[in-house]
A = this chain, B = another copy of it.
């Protein structure tokens, strides 16, 4: 079953950044890196059925979107610095409306959230907004066919973007009644689906 994750990265840099300050000057790019890892990685293997998107909204040139396609990624180390290097490489390319490939499986484009959501709808994904006051995932996970989970970083989802998400959302889903980090939400969503699909 194909799955997608879309992270809204409110402050993530939209130009190449220093690898030594991911959590600072790069605008919490460490969160984007961890979300890529938890979307795509298992122990010594890659989830080929997963596509990861992030909308980067930080300075100096927002919005830019990155896309990581599990089925095409060749090698992906799980450490933040390695993944950040691949994002940095993508950010060094000139962007247009079309996806441009930087390294195997890594793409970049000038796309907004609503364009990404339209792209997912066109590919028959269900749009699932991860939000603390949604319905418990265990009540609905069995219904998912091709879920695309939309979530915010440490700053959450800005109100104008939430309005867009709500126009597209098929489900509003919660994982726990406590506040989790974005990468934790992604891993738990993957895990709850694995429980249905693998066990």
Q: Which residues of A contact B (CB under 8 A)?
A: 19-20, 22-23, 30-31, 34, 38, 41-45, 77-82, 136, 154, 175-181, 184, 187-188, 191, 194-195, 198-199
**A154: which B residues are within 8 A, CB to CB?**
43-44
Q: In the complex, are the beta carbons of B199 and A44 less than 8 A apart?
A: no
A152 to chain B, nearest CB (A): 10
**A199: which B residues are within 8 A, CB to CB?**
136, 176-177
**A45: which B residues are within 8 A, CB to CB?**
179
- This protein's copies in its complex: 2
Compute how far the CA of A181 lies from the CA of B183 in the bound complex, rounded to whole angstroms. 14
**A19: which B residues are within 8 A, CB to CB?**
20
Q: In the complex, are the beta carbons of B77 and A23 less than 8 A apart?
A: yes
Q: In the complex, are the beta carbons of A191 and B176 less than 8 A apart?
A: yes
Knowing that A19-B20, A78-B181, A188-B188 are A-B contacts, what are 17 other residue pairs whose CB atoms are under 8 Å apart, sorted by A's residue number?
Answer: A23-B79, A30-B80, A31-B78, A34-B78, A38-B184, A42-B179, A42-B180, A42-B184, A43-B180, A44-B154, A80-B80, A175-B191, A176-B191, A176-B198, A177-B199, A187-B187, A188-B191
Return the contact of A30 from the options B31, B79, B175, B179 (Cβ within 8 A). B79
A92 to chain B, nearest CB (A): 20
Return the contact of A20 from the options B23, B41, B81, B195 (Cβ within 8 A). B81
Compute how far the CA of A195 lies from the CA of B138 in the bound complex, rounded to whole angstroms. 11
**A30: which B residues are within 8 A, CB to CB?**
78-81
**A180: which B residues are within 8 A, CB to CB?**
42-43
